[in-house]
């Protein structure tokens, strides 16, 4: 059985990634950062999602020798010129806090009318192999930011984001399967999973 490292400690994100990858990778064991020897993780200082995903995947390969998948994703709000973007997880400053990030986003959009609250989630997923091969794919989910926190599923900005496909529910109110089917990460992972299988064959 082949082993692939997913360079993340976020339990909910890891579960989501394992679930989607498992649909395509039957004989692959997916491990997270807490399953391998600790190593110095890089500072995510790249200006693009693709750059940060590659940075994390390359660090994982260098430290463990395992093929590594890493993602970087975020919320891009039109009224905020595409921010928080690559700064999504750290939008309200250290330490990282979904609650504070959501409060800050609501405050920044407080006087923005509903018709100008368009936004999309973007995700870049990078796969780096120890032999030097690299693949990056992207996924996107379009929708809007609402005015109050709703739902208990998902993580990050899910409690404030309503996707175009489900206009009455936040992505934190969707079932796992419904969210996986439309999410930016789901789209990117489904695209990269067969490529992972091919690379490991």
Confidence band of 7 (pLDDT split at 50, 70, 90): very high
Task: Give the tokens for residue 77.
Answer: 């709000």
pLDDT, mean of residues 23-41: 88
Q: Is 96 annotated as a binding residue?
A: no
For residue 143, report the phi and psi dihedrals to the nearest 5 degrees: 180, -145
Among candidate residues 170, 153, 154, the one with its CA nearest the CA of residue 119: 170
Mean pLDDT in the chain? 93
Q: Is 187 annotated as a binding residue?
A: no
Nearest-10 Cα torsion for 105, 122, 78, 144: -70
Q: CA-to-CA distance for 191 and 20, rounded, in angstroms?
A: 10
The predicted structure's pLDDT at residue 150:
97
Q: Is 8 annotated as a binding residue?
A: yes
Q: Is 85 annotated as a binding residue?
A: no
Among candidate residues 194, 192, 186, 198, the one with its CA nearest the CA of residue 57: 192
Model confidence at 65: pLDDT above 90: yes
Tens digit of pLDDT for each residue in 8-25? Answer: 988 877 887 788 788 777
Segments forming the whole domain that contains residue 107: 2-200
In total, how many domains does the chain have?
1
Confidence band of 1 (pLDDT split at 50, 70, 90): confident
Tens digit of pLDDT for each residue in 119-149? Answer: 999 999 999 999 999 999 999 999 999 999 9
Among candidate residues 31, 34, 51, 29, the one with its CA nearest the CA of residue 42: 51
The predicted structure's pLDDT at residue 139:
97
The predicted structure's pLDDT at residue 9:
87
Say which range, 3-12, 47-56, 137-146, has the weakest mean pLDDT.
3-12
- 72 in catalytic set: yes
CATH code of residue 82: 3.90.950.10
* β-pair partners for 32: 6
The predicted structure's pLDDT at residue 154:
85
Active-site residue (options: 72, 114, 142, 177): 72
């Amino acid at each position: 059985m082949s082993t692939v490292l997913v360079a993340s400690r976020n339990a909910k994100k890891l579960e989501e990634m394992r679930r989607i990858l498992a649909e395509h990778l039957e004989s692959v064991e997916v491990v997270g950062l807490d399953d391998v020897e600790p190593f110095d993780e890089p500072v995510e200082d790249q200006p693009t999602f693709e750059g940060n995903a590659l940075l994390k995947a390359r660090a994982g390969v260098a430290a463990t020798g395992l093929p590594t998948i890493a993602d970087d994703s975020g919320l891009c709000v039109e009224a905020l010129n595409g921010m928080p973007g690559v700064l999504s997880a750290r939008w309200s400053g250290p330490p990282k806090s979904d609650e504070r990030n959501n409060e800050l986003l609501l405050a920044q959009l407080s006087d923005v009318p509903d018709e100008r609250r368009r936004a999309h989630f973007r995700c870049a997923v990078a796969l780096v192999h120890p032999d030097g091969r690299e693949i990056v794919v992207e996924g996107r989910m379009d929708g809007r930011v609402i005015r109050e926190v709703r739902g208990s599923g998902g993580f990050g900005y899910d409690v404030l984001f309503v996707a175009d496909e489900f206009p009455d529910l936040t992505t934190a109110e969707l079932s796992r399967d419904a969210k996986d089917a439309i999410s930016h990460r789901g789209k990117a992972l489904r695209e990269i999973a067969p490529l992972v299988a091919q690379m490991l064959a």
